[in-house]
Chains A and B, each alone.
Chain A
Amino acid sequence: MRALVCVKRVPMTGGTIILTEDAQAIETLHLGFTISPHEECGVEEAVRLIEANGGESVVLTLGPPEAVEQLRDAMALGIDRAVHLVSDGEEWDAQATAGAIVEAIRADEAANGPFDLVFFGNESADAGNYQVGIRVAYALGLPVVTGLKGVAIDGGGVRCEQEVSGGRDVYVLSLPAVVTVLEGLNLPRYPSVPAKLRAQRKPVESSSPTRPSSKLEKVRLVVPEGQGKEAVILGHGPEAAPAVVEMLRQIGVAQ
């Protein structure tokens, strides 16, 4: 079995977002980076799938040269090798991103055989476009199910579960297929030190695709006005308890 998981490098924004002077990006000088949260669960699921069934797992990203850190993080969790589509540092829109991923998947499949399951996050933490996985599935002629909290291989197929109001919706597909997943699908493991060292030696294949023009064309980013609230300080330490209970009474949630 072969599994692919596509991930995106995103900044860890903390409490306040600060933009670059040209308002085209988040100022990341003092920020760390991570794999977008839903995709972290995609990585863990791909690793478990290959642990259980044998075969090969591959991680792919479109991102700046530094995104190799996130590829190493995924390989430290147990992914076998990586494909890095090195971007120019500009942001790619969803259509352009999907196009580059499709080309890379076709090239890898031509050399190594078809993937049985391709994982995406349901939406990236930063851009939140909700569409890259679906576009890739159409281009490859594969079925796609999104927003999954359950993915189970069952014979030649996959049973997919979505959390919906009042329960879970179940889809049953045959493989190969594309799935987009949500955080909560699993609890990703912490990488061990030996696993991190092994990840440094795993192969990363790089190429530099050309960015096409954006059809959802970013003009600028804007930090929304804060709620401008000044919190009423009810007190300091445990002595504040009566004031808290009085406030709860006033808003009608305590007797």
Chain B
Amino acid sequence: MILVYVDEPSELTQQALAFAGGLGGPLHAFAAGVAVPVEGVETLYVAEGDAFASYAPAAIAQAIVELVERLSPAAVVAAGTERGNEVLAHVAAKLDLPFSANCVAATAGDPFLVTRVRWGGSLLEEAHLHGPVKLLTVQPHVVAAEERTGKPAIAAFTPVLSDPDRLVRVAERVAAAAGGVSLADAKVVVSCGRGAGSPEGFGIIEELAGLLGGAVGCSRAVTMAGWRPHTDQVGQTGTKIAPDIYVACGISGATQHMAGCKGAKAILAVNTDPEAPILASADYAVIGDLHEVVPAISAEIRKAQAQKAGRG
């Protein structure tokens, strides 16, 4: 059997279930605190107790350890989210087993042959995953979710927890201040690298983003220079974006950056260098100086808006 940790009824959970289904053997699921709605698994094990009132990674991991000891699954699988990776790393530490994070493929056996991402997806690693129980998470948006039907049997249990398991838990949720368009959710992102020349150089980027109702992004070099806040950074160590169009101005296309914009439906690169690596990932390109091209695009949009207003 395969045990899947489901933390919320999300698309990524459905992807993890589809991945786990491909490993063979009956699927069972585990949820902490509440019976997360999930279909197409035989049993949903639900850990109960006040320790699960808010997110508590060590307590959740201990509940999984208890199930592993009781059920001896061939593998424990979770979505490769921050929390999926965290909980499975706790399980791995508790059981002293290897753990393969962010897999894109796995073939069951002993060992499992897994393919996992490195460098935020710019490189893949094929590896043998050893151990009596294989622990792995599923890289988001690589495996398609499948239609699953059939209500599972619910098996509630109260795991035995130690004091250290209860120690680390979310004590408080501070709501974010309402602001403009968030980078992660924006339909349009207009982004610039060091080529902006200065913090003020982002004026033309902000203008174009504003005209398109989008958000401003930037490269890591820009945030390290202190020109823009880290919340604007697109990349492996910044925000992962998924807009309808990503307008990347003066951005060469380093792997660190591209790991953050793989989810864009289309990429328009504005670059003086027709050989820049980003052109191999872009759908459209304008070869030219961003300081001339970007204001020209803004002017063209204004002109079109004025014509429309004139007609209206």
Binding site for B on A (CB under 8 A): 13-17, 26, 37-38, 93-95, 122-123, 125-131, 134-135, 137-139, 141, 143-147, 161-162, 164, 166-173, 182-184, 187-188, 215-224, 226-227, 229, 231-242, 244-245, 247-248, 251-255
Minimum Cβ distance to chain A for residue B208 (Å): 10
Whether the pair B125, A237 counts as a contact (CB closer than 8 A) is: no
Nearest 7 A/B pairs, CB to CB: A15-B277, A184-B230, A238-B296, A131-B89, A215-B98, A237-B288, A241-B296
Question: Measured between alpha carbons, how far is A238 from B174 in the docked complex, in Å?
Answer: 45
Complex: chain B residue closest to A187, CB-CB = B226
Residues of A within 8 A of B118 (CB): 126-128, 221
Number of A-B contacts (CB under 8 A): 264
Segment of B17-25, B99-107, B150-158 engaged in the interface with chain A: B99-107
Complex: chain B residue closest to A224, CB-CB = B124
Minimum Cβ distance to chain A for residue B175 (Å): 4
Given contacts A17-B255, A26-B123, A184-B230, whether A236 and B93 have CB atoms under 8 Å apart is: no
Given contacts A126-B118, A127-B118, A231-B279, whether A219 and B128 have CB atoms under 8 Å apart is: yes
Minimum Cβ distance to chain A for residue B228 (Å): 11
Contact of A247 among B85, B231, B268, B301 (CB under 8 A): B268
Binding site for A on B (CB under 8 A): 55, 57-58, 82, 85-86, 89-90, 92-94, 96-102, 111, 113, 115, 117-131, 164, 167-176, 187-188, 212, 214, 220, 223-224, 226, 230-231, 233, 236-238, 244-245, 252-256, 265-266, 268-269, 274, 276-289, 292-293, 295-297, 299-301, 304-305, 308
Given contacts A143-B168, A234-B285, whether A166 and B123 have CB atoms under 8 Å apart is: no
Whether the pair A245, B99 counts as a contact (CB closer than 8 A) is: no
Minimum Cβ distance to chain B for residue A91 (Å): 10
